[in-house]
Amino acid sequence: MTEEAADTAPDNPYIDDPTTAFDPVAELTDTEAREQAEALREAIRYHDHRYYVENDPAIDDRVYDALFSRLRDLEEAFDSQTEDSPTQRVGGAPRDELPDVEHVAPMRSIDQGGEADEVREFDRRVRDGLDAADYEGEVDYYCEPKFDGLSVEVVYEGGVFQRAATRGDGEIGDDVTANVRTIPTVPQRLRGDYPEFLAVRGEVYMPKPAFQAYNRELVERGDEPFANPRNAAAGTLRQLDPSVTAERPLSMFFFDVLDGADFDTRWEMHETFPEWGLRVCERTELVDDIEAAIGYRDARLDERDDLDYEIDGVVISVNDTEACAELGTTSRAPRWAFAYKFPARSEHTTLRDVVVQVGRTGRLTPVALMDPVQVGGVTVSRASLHNPAEIERLGVGIGDGVRVRRAGDVIPEVAEVTDPESDDHFEFPDECPVCGSPVERDGPMAFCTGGLGCRAQRERSVQHYASRKGLDVEGLGEERVQQLLDADLVSDVADLYELSVEELTELEGWGETSAENLVAELDAAREPPLADFLTAIGIPEVGQTVAASLARHFGTFDAVRSADEDELQAVDDVGPTVAREIREFFDSEANRDVLDRLLAHVDPQEAETTTGDALDGLTFVFTGSLNGYTRSDAQDLVERAGGSATSSVSSNTDYLVLGENPGQTKQDDAAEHEVPALDGVEAFEAKLREYGVDIEG
C-alpha cells in the first residue's frame, strides 16, 4: 500500500477507527483471519510511520498495543506470519555466529578535522577541483549531525527489508539482519514510490534517555553497566540472540544511498527518504557557503547535550550530486565530504609512567599510564602520546598533572601538561624496548630497525596475516599467537605452515579438534588470491584497496615484488610514498628471508589483469543493479579490457549501462549528451563482444 493509499484507505478500519471491536479469533474463517491480519499489518505500518518518521502519532500507545496484540494472535492461530510483518520485530532464533557479508557498494570513511581552517581548506579543494572539471554550478553544502553510533547498510528488494550489515572494513561487514529487523525505526516494507532495489546507509544508536534507563536496570540486577550509548548500541547490535536485541532500545537514522537510486541533490534525497518510510534527522540543513556550514557546526555543538542522541561533530557535504561525481573519491574517502569534529571532552589526572609499544611496521608509539579518570563516561587510565615529536612538544614528565581527552570521543590522548611536577622530561629511547635494535626517526615518528627480527613486529605480523583483513585464518587470535611464539613453535608467518596437530595439542588449552581445525584452516590458505596475500604480508601503506589495484595491474606476486618505484606509481591508488614503502619492504633482507620461506608453502594465485586494449578510449557509466554483476565486477570487466568506468555521464561518456531501477538523472544526462544507453546485462555483454572482449575469460 502506498503512503497516499494508507492515508485515505476507507476499507481499512484499523486506520480510520483503530478502536474497532474485534470478533473472537475462534469465530473467524481462515480467509477472514488472513484478510484481517493483512489490514492490521498495513495499519501498524502506517502508525509506525506516523510515530517514528513524522513524529506525529495518530493513536495512543494503548490502542497501538491492542492492534499489535490482535495481529500476533491471528498469526499464531492461523499460522499466517509474513516475513515483513511487524510482529517479526520480536527477534528470531539465536545464531552461532555473525557471518560476513559483502556490501553492495563500499562504505567509505570521511576525512575529518576539528579546526575551522581545515574546513575552509576543504572548501578550497572542492572549488579548485570543480574549476578544473569546468563545473559551472553553484556550490552549496548539505549539513547533518555526525552520529556517534554504528554505521549499517540496509538492503530492500521490492520494497521489502532483506538484509543489514555493519560497516566492518568498508567492504565486508557482519550480517546483523535479524537484529536490525527488531529496530522499530527500520521499516520492514517501504512506502510510496520506492525503487525496486535500494541499498541505504544509516546509523544505529541508543537514545540517551533509553540508555540511562537501561543502565539503571543493569545496575539494579547486579550487572555491569555500559560506559556510553555507543558501546551499548554496539553490544546490542552484535548479539547472537535477536530476542535480546529486541528488548533493548535501539533506534536508527538513514542518511545516504549506496545503490539503487539517484538524486540530483543530497537535499532531494533527504526529503524523499521519509516518503519511503526511512527516518531522517530533523536537524539537517542546507547552507549557501562554507562559513554558514561552520556556523551550523557551532549551533550543533551548543545544543549537543540537549539532544537525545550522541553526536561528535557534523558532516559537511557538497549538495549537488553531479559536483560530487566530478570530485570523485580516494581509495578511502569521498573528496566531496568533510567531518567537522567537536572538541574532545577532557579531564585532569596525573601521569605515572610512559611505555613504548612496537607495532607491526616497527613504529614506536608512546603510551601514558595515568591515575584513572572518567572522560565522557569512560574510565581512562591509558592515553596515547602519539610519537616522540608530540612528547617533545608537550614536555611530558613522570608525575606531571595532565589534561587527557578522548580524540573523537573515542581514543584517549594527552592534550597538555597542566601541572609540571618533574624537572626531567621523558626521554624517548634510542633502542627498541623489545629487541634492542637502533631506533630511527622519520619526521615526527620513530621506528625499530629490527624488522622481523623484532619479537613485537613478528607477533603483530602473524596476527595481521591471520586476521580478517589478511587471510582470515580462524583460531589465531592475539592470545594464541602469543602462545605459539612463547612456545617457540612460530617465529614468523612462514612457520605457521609447519605446525602439526601433535605440537599444538601439547599446549595448554588446545584439544584435538581445535588443533585439527587450525591446521585445516592453514591448509586452506595455501593458495590465496593475490590481492589477499599482498594485504596479509603487511606491506606498509598497502591495505585491501591498494592490494587489489596492485594485483589487477601486475597479475603475479613476482611481478609486484620486482617492480621498481616508477612501475609501482603507474598503478591506481599508488603514489610516491606508497611506492617507496613497497620497494623498501621488498628490499629488506629480513623480509626477503621470510617471504622466500613463506612462498615454499604458499602459492598466491595469479590475478586477472588487463586483457587487452579492446575498449581503449571508451568510457562506460553504470546505473541501477545488474543481474549477475556487482557494480565493481562490471567496472573491473571494462577496465581489464582497457576502458574506463566513471560515476557520472558527460560529453566524454560513450555508453550508459542501464541495470534494474536505473537512476533518472543519469538517463537525462545521457539524453542531453546523446550518449547511447545499453538496456540491461544482455545489451552490455553484447556490446563488449562487438569490441572483441572475452567475457567468459
- Estimate to the nearest angstrom the gap between the alpha carbon of 81 and the chain centroid: 33
Q: Per-residue b/e over 153-183, b at no fewer than 16 CB within 10 Å?
A: bbbbbebebebbbbbbebbbbbbbbbbbbbb
635, 515, 651, 557: which is closest to 133 by C-alpha? 651
Would you state the cell numbers that stand for residue 539, as one nine-digit string?
Answer: 606491506
Pairing state between β 411-419 and 346-358: unpaired
Total count of residues recorded for the chain: 697
- C-alpha distance from residue 325 to each of 133, 137, 332, 583, 646 (Å): 10, 13, 15, 33, 9
Task: Give the C-alpha distances (Å, rounded to integers) separating 204 from 153, 232, 253, 365, 426.
Answer: 10, 11, 7, 32, 42
Please answer whether residues 235 and 226 qualify as being in contact, where contact means their C-beta atoms are separated by less than 8 angstroms.
Answer: yes
- The answer to whether the Cα torsion of 426, 432, 438, 440 is positive or negative is negative
Please list the residues that pair with 205 across neighbouring strands: 251
**8 Å CB contact between 189 and 161:** yes
Cell 605452515 sits on residue:
497
Q: Is 469 a catalytic residue?
A: no
CA 134 to each of CA 65, 121, 131, 282: distance values in angstroms, whole numbers, following the listed order? 57, 20, 5, 34
Taking the mean position of all CA atoms in its chain, how far away is CA 319?
Answer: 22
Instruction: Name the pairing type of β-strands 337-341 and 311-318.
Output: antiparallel
Report the relative pairing of strands 677-679 and 655-658 from DSSP bridges.
parallel
Q: Are 626 and 224 in contact (CB under 8 A)?
A: no
Cβ(318)–Cβ(142) below 8 Å: yes
- Which residue is catalytic, options 146, 341, 469, 666? 146
C-alpha–C-alpha distance, residues 626 and 659, integer Å: 5
DSSP 53: I
CB 50, CB 57: distance < 8 Å: yes
Just list the catalytic residues. 146
